[in-house]
Amino acid sequence: MIITIDGPAGVGKGTIAKIISKSLGFKYLDSGAMYRALALFANLNGVSDNDSDRLKKILIDLHIQFIDDKEGERVLLNTDDVTEDIRTNEISTLASKFAANDIVRKILREMQRRMIKDKDFIAEGRDMGTYVFPDAEYKFYLDADLKIRAKRRANQLKEILGINMNEENVAKEISNRDNLDMTRESCPLHPAADAVIIDTSNMTIDEVVLKIKTVIDNA
Ligand code: DC
């Protein structure tokens, strides 16, 4: 069974998806981490987001793996552990730019479908319920006010990277990214017609988890 959770930056999709995947015993697909790893890889190879010919060539050598260890999930780019490297603001912005390239999206979409094949998964991202897994059994779209999302993202940056970021700057970064993610031609971010939309602005993590589980249990 596939459950999709989509939504804009900083809405808490990752946190919620992880909790639900643990409690249901499902695997978890962090599709954003794949766009981030790809952006890091292309950047290290000196390839820009609009150079589709070179991107096609280097992406043949891109292998992204998720592994579970004691500290939680790790992201491997080829053999390198890039779990922390892909969480910087620079990579967030780059990931969004590379994600607008249709070749990049086609390659990652195929990888995502292969990873999930015939397994129980919570797939989290921007286009999971709309373009990658349109037949998913349950679809959720999380949203929240920009200021609240900026606060959540700033807290996350502090937790993961130990960086103190000004919330106004974080708000600018995520609003630019949302704009790009929602207006690109290839698979833009929007709720699927059959998604349950949840405004999490005034909800705790536990309340959002409960809401999602209630929808699933009562279906
Ligand atoms: O979820 P995230 O912040 O880790 O995602 C980083 C960027 O990757 C996001 O700004 C747009 C892109 N992305 C995408 O286009 N499609 C997805 N399914 C997931 C992420």
Domain assignment present for residue 133? The answer is: yes
- Check: CB of residue 59 under 8 Å from CB of residue 38: yes
Q: 11: Cβ–Cβ under 8 A, 6 or more apart, which residues?
A: 142, 143, 144, 149, 152, 200
- pLDDT one-digit tens code per residue, 8-19: 999 999 999 999
For the CA of 100, the nearest atom of ligand 1: 15
What is the number of the ligand 1 atom nearest to the C-alpha of 9?
3
Residue 213 inside a domain? The answer is: no
Q: What is the position in ligand 1's atom list of the atom closest to the CA of 10?
A: 3
CA distance 71 to 53: 38
Percent pLDDT > 70 in the chain is: 100
DSSP state of 11: S
Whether 196 maps to a domain, the answer reads yes
Residue identifier of the C-alpha nearest atom 5 of ligand 1: 32
Round to whole Å and give the CA distance between 116 and 111. 9
Which residue among 2, 126, 189 has the greatest number of ligand 1 atoms within 8 angstroms of its CB, and so is best to mutate? Answer: 126
Q: State residue 212's pLDDT score.
A: 98
Does 13 map to a domain? yes
Q: What is the pLDDT of residues 39-89, one digit of tens each?
A: 999 999 999 999 999 999 999 999 999 998 877 889 999 999 999 999 998
Contact 103, 66 (CB under 8 A): no
For residue 57, the domain's CATH number is 3.40.50.300
> Amino acid letter at 148?
I
Q: What pLDDT sits at residue 3?
A: 98
Which atom of ligand 1 approaches the CA of 128 most closely? 18
**Structural domain contains residue 137:** yes
Q: Which domain holds residue 195?
A: 2-203
Assigned domain for 19 exists: yes
- The whole-number pLDDT of residue 70 equals 77
Dist CA 152 CA 146 (whole Å): 10
How does residue 102 score in pLDDT terms, banded at 50, 70 and 90? very high
- Which residues have C-beta atoms less than 6 Å from ligand 1? 9, 31-32, 35-36, 92, 95-96, 99, 125-128, 177, 181
Q: Is 90 exceeded by the pLDDT of residue 161?
A: no
The number of distinct structural domains making up the chain is: 1
pLDDT (0 to 100) of residue 72: 82
In a domain, 132, yes or no: yes
Q: Which helix (H) or strand (E) holds 81?
A: strand 80-81
CA of 92 to the centre of ligand 1 (A): 8
pLDDT tens figures, 177-215: 999 999 999 999 999 999 999 999 999 999 999 999 999
Is the pLDDT score of 170 beyond 90?
Answer: yes
The angle that helices 205-217 and 13-24 make with each other, rounded to 10 degrees, is 50
Q: How far is the CA of 99 from the centre of ligand 1 (A)?
A: 7
Give the residue whose CA is nearest to atom 13 of ligand 1: 32
Q: What's the number of CA atoms in the CB half-sphere (13 Å) around residue 71?
A: 7
Whether 210 is in a domain gets the answer no
Could you tell me the CA-to-CA distances from 53 to 48, 96, 118, 184 in Å, in that order?
A: 10, 19, 33, 20
Please report, to the nearest 10 degrees, the dihedral formed by the alpha carbons of residues 108, 114, 116, 119 taken in order: 180
CA 96 to ligand 1 center in whole angstroms: 6
Q: In testing the pocket of ligand 1, which one of 6, 34, 90, 181 has its CB within 8 Å of the most ligand atoms? A: 181
Mean pLDDT of 28-49: 97
Q: In the structure, how many helices (H) and strands (E) does the chain have?
A: 8, 8
Confidence of residue 129 (pLDDT cuts 50, 70, 90): very high
The stretch 21-27 carries a mean pLDDT of 95
Q: State residue 93's pLDDT score.
A: 95
Position 91 confidence tier, pLDDT thresholds 50, 70, 90: very high
pLDDT at 156 over 90: no
Q: How far is the CA of 176 from the centre of ligand 1 (A)?
A: 13
CA distances from 7 to 1, 11, 58, 67, 124 (A): 20, 7, 29, 24, 9
